[in-house]
Amino acid sequence: MTAFFQTLGMSYEWAWFIATIAGILLIALPLMLAVAMIIYADRKIWAAMALRRGPNVVGPFGLLQSFADGLKVFLQETIIPSASNRGLFLIAPIITFTVALMAWAVIPFNSGAVLADINVGLLYILAISSLGVYGVVIAGWASNSKYPFFSAMRAAAQMISYEVSIGFILICVVLWAKTFNMLGIVEAQKAHVLGFVNAFGLNPLLFPIAVMFLISAMAETARAPFDLTEAESELVAGYQTEYSSMSFALYWLGEYANVLLMCTLNAVLFWGGYLPPVDWAPLYVVPGIIWLFAKIFVFFFIFSWVKATVPRYRYDQLMRLGWKVFLPVSLLWVCIVSGYLMFTGHFA
């Protein structure tokens, strides 16, 4: 894109700057639209599983319901509790929303279609995703209210607990792909299983950790059955209790952008990303971004399915699953995968 702007007579520096801004907008604006649509899809899926209709009044088939909700929130008054830390209270949702968008910079949407094709893309995502907890913790502390504070403590413990096992799971992927680059990881999955299936996930050694990553992703994004940070029967609305208007909306946007990101990471790291399911020439006629979006929707359906059907965990069960099950199993799997790859000469 930089070369295109240079053909318009711009210097390299200005061409690079304009191209980068254009790339950011090409990701951020469709992502905001996608968030509105998946909130609608989420509600429709829950309704179908409960034998209800779901949103069906605003716009054709209720498609404009999310936009109506956004307008309603936008027109509400922003209330800041008198006892809160005003500066931190306002900056917390901005942190959550901004961090949720930053991780998309290294996601490959097609071969060569990535905003920042850096060698350590996976490390970048790990670093950015770990920053998301700050928005929740700061909101809980700045609200100066006991329920948001309890929620913030839960969120910090929960996200740290599951990031440890996610880190070990990603080590297995990196060992097999021999790169931290996101495009490299996708290309390493080409014809990986039986010489024609484009996926790490169907590899018998990697399938168990693909399932663990999916469950850990639900816990990392605080989705049901791991939504202990917003347990309405215990904490009213958790860290969002004191928020209203656009500050509340920013949390919603950030939460669903994170959910979409985790669905995308499941598709990219284990299920071939923008590659078709099978390494067969006619399937490559379909643009890679279509395959990626289809896989993202499958995983989002699983997220919604679980939320609609699985009851919420107790907090001790949540911690036990993270520390006593996922952590030792993922560490053991690093040893198994690295041992297998060493024995078969994968690094030779």
Residue 128 has pLDDT above 80, yes or no: yes
Residue 81 has pLDDT above 90, yes or no: no
pLDDT of residue 247: 83
- Segment 60-73, tens digit of pLDDT: 888 898 888 888 88
**Burial (0-12, 13-18, 19+ Cβ within 10 Å), 306:** middle
25 backbone dihedrals φ, ψ, rounded to 5°: -65, -35
Distances (CA, A) of 290 to 38, 129, 140, 202, 220: 16, 25, 39, 21, 26
Residue 92 has pLDDT above 80, yes or no: yes
- CB atoms under 10 Å from CB of 298, counted, come to 13
Residue 1 has pLDDT above 90, yes or no: no
- pLDDT band with cut points at 50, 70 and 90 for residue 233: low
- CB atoms under 10 Å from CB of 328, counted, come to 12
Instruction: Count the residues in the chain.
Output: 348
**More confident call, 52 vs 10:** 52
Contact 134, 91 (CB under 8 A): no
Average pLDDT, rounded, for the chain: 87
Mean pLDDT, residues 124-141 taken together: 86
CA distance 236 to 234: 6
pLDDT of residue 137: 85
- Segment 157-188, tens digit of pLDDT: 888 888 889 999 999 999 999 999 999 999 99
- Segment 242-257, tens digit of pLDDT: 888 888 888 888 888 8
CA distance 243 to 89: 9
- pLDDT band with cut points at 50, 70 and 90 for residue 145: confident
